[in-house]
Structures are given as C-alpha cells and as structure tokens.
Amino acid sequence: MALSGSRDYTRTTRQIIISSMRWLGAIGIGETPEDAEMVVCMEALNIMLKGWHHDGIGAWLNQETTLFLENEGQSYSIGSTGDHATASYGDTELAADASSGDSTIDVDSITGIADGDYISIELDDGTLQWTTVNGTPAGVTVTLDDVLTDDAAENNDVYFYTTKTTRPLRIFNVRFKRYDGTEIPVDIVPRQLYLDIPIKSIQTKVNQVYYDPTTTNGTLYVWGTCDDVRDKIVFTSRILIQDIDSITNHIDVPVDWLRAVKMNLALEVAPDFEKDPTQFQIVQAERALTKAKAFDREPGSYIFKLSRR
C-alpha cells in the first residue's frame, strides 16, 4: 500500500475545539458546538497559549533580529512602532554621489527594494538617514519620500527592509556586529547592574545590554553608545505567539503540539461546560504537555568545569 507522501497535516481552530470538546465529553461524535460555545473555547485557547510563554515554551517563535544603531543612542524601542529593528533586511551601495536635497538615489542593485519599504542612506556626516521608498524603483533609481539632509558619496551604504519586528518577550544570544561582519558576544545584564553604570553616554563598541519588555514596544538599553552607524546589534528574540482571531485560523504551534493543545484546552474549558475531567484525562493532558515541552528544547550540551580558587 502506497504512503501518502504528504507531511502537511494541520488543524484549524474550529477543528481543534471540536476535537477538544469531544474528548472532554461536552459534545458527541458528529455534533457541532454552538456559536457561543465556540467563542468561549477560542477565548480560552488564546489565553492558554499566551500563558504558556511563562514556561519558556515556543522555540519555534525564536527569530534573529537586527537592530540598526544611531549615533550616541543609549536606548532603542523594539517593536512594530519602534526604532529600526527587523528580522530581514537587504543592503546595497550608492552607485553615484548624491547631494543634500535630492529625492532620488542611484544604487548598485534595486533587487528586493519595494514601494513603501523603510530605507536608510549613509550620509557623509556619519549618520544614517531613514525614510521610505516612494513607488517601485526603476533601473538603478530609487525615489525617496524625504529629501536627503546631507551629501552622500558613491559607495556609501544603503539598507532597506519591509517590516519592523514585533515586540520581543525576551532576547538572548546578543552579538555586536561590526561593519566588516565580525560578530562579538554581548553580555545581557540585569536592570540594577545597568542602572549602576555611572556614565552611560560613552561612545564605544556595545558590550552590555539590558532589555525591558515594556508593553507595545520593548526597550533595549545599551552600553556603550554607537560610534559608527555601520555597526549593528543582532540578537535572538522570542516573539509572542500569534492571536487566534477566527475559528478558521490555524494556531501558531507546530503540528507535534496539537495533542497537548487539544487535551489541555479541554481542561481549561471544563468548568464552562460543567464537566469534571477524570484523573485519566488530567494525567494524559499533563503527559502530553510535558512531552511537547521536552521536545521544545534546543539540542546541545553544557560543559561544567571546576575552577580552583
């Protein structure tokens, strides 16, 4: 007998809710929950998935993020309405000199540059000027929404991207990326240690950061402040699981988590349906979640060494 050859099995929110309610005994085989019941279960599912972040769950939600630095910047807002930080960007160089007041630039390549993209130009005064792309580039020419505020020489850097990163819940694996591509590990320090730094405005290569996951946008505090805008900070960020806005949505978890989601959703909504889960159901749900969490860890090993004092 032939195998299917497919590996794309998934479930919509509606299908997960029906399966969960059936396992709980709130509906029978072939029955469909009422609209109000669907709303209750979808709310519980959203809250449950968001709450799982507290257990460190969500390795699939890790993304590599690049933060563009500003001269003397001591803190950066990280999020959809924050400073310039993104999970994906492109770069090119100016193909010809540009003058202050110009609204167009010529670049080595327009590949990947689209209307509405954020774009920055390295100016001759040592700053990055950020604006947005006005219209689809043609040939080697990019039209800008704002005119240049200083001259920019041929071969100066140009960076562009489409979407700012969402607010990270936490960050780790922070690196300082030099202009030549070299990456240097950066220490993540606690709030008090950062606050205890007496002078926070020293211009030098960033070697310490403190992240405060404030609402809407997070805030990344750095020490020292940028002395070359061609340098960047790159880090791994754990982003928030996507909302479920409709019962037709798929949920933002890998397929191997579906069993744990189904069973634990049943426990979450049991009081709403006046059901008393059996001890067997409770144990099965706990085991499913434990197994999923165990597989959610990055592979690798730690080496511990004794030191003499």
Span 129-180, pLDDT tens digits? 999 999 999 999 999 999 999 999 999 999 999 999 999 999 999 999 999 9
Alpha carbon 62 to its chain centroid, in Å, reads 7
pLDDT at 300 over 80: no
pLDDT in tens, 195-237: 999 999 999 999 999 999 998 999 999 999 999 999 999 999 9
Question: φ, ψ for residue 170 (rounded to 5)?
Answer: -155, 160
pLDDT in tens, 263-289: 999 999 999 999 999 999 999 999 999
- pLDDT for 255 equals 94
Is the preceding omega at residue 224 within 30 degrees of 0, hence cis? yes
In a domain, 249, yes or no: yes
| Distance from the first to the final alpha carbon of the chain | 67
- pLDDT for 308 equals 57
Q: What is the pTM of this model?
A: 0.89
In a domain, 178, yes or no: yes
- pLDDT for 178 equals 95
Q: Which among 162, 186, 220 is the end of a domain?
A: 162
Query: Using CA atoms in the order 231, 233, 234, 240, what is the torsion angle rounded to 10 degrees?
Result: -140
User: Cα–Cα distance between 94 and 132 in angstroms, integer?
Assistant: 16
The band of 305, judged by pLDDT with boundaries at 50, 70 and 90, is low
- pLDDT for 279 equals 97
Amino acid at 206: V
Q: Range of 48's domain? A: 13-58+241-295
In a domain, 309, yes or no: no
Residues 155 and 199 in one domain: no
- Residues with Cβ within 8 Å of residue 242, at least 6 apart in sequence: 252
Q: What is the mean pLDDT of the chain?
A: 94
Query: Quick one: which of 143, 163, 195 has its CA closest to 63?
Result: 163
6-to-2, 3, 26, 252 alpha-carbon distances in Å: 12, 8, 32, 20
Mean pLDDT, residues 107-111 taken together: 98
Residues 95 and 153 in one domain: yes
Structure tokens at 89: 């960007």
In a domain, 188, yes or no: yes
Amino acid at 147: V
- pLDDT for 57 equals 87
- pLDDT for 297 equals 75
**CATH no. for residue 250?**
1.10.3230.20
pLDDT in tens, 114-124: 999 999 999 99
DSSP 266: H
Alpha carbon 159 to its chain centroid, in Å, reads 19
**CATH no. for residue 132?**
2.40.10
User: Cα–Cα distance between 143 and 126 in angstroms, integer?
Assistant: 22
In a domain, 303, yes or no: no
In a domain, 127, yes or no: yes
The band of 304, judged by pLDDT with boundaries at 50, 70 and 90, is low
- pLDDT for 307 equals 53
User: For a pLDDT cut of 70, what percent of the chain falls above it?
Assistant: 96
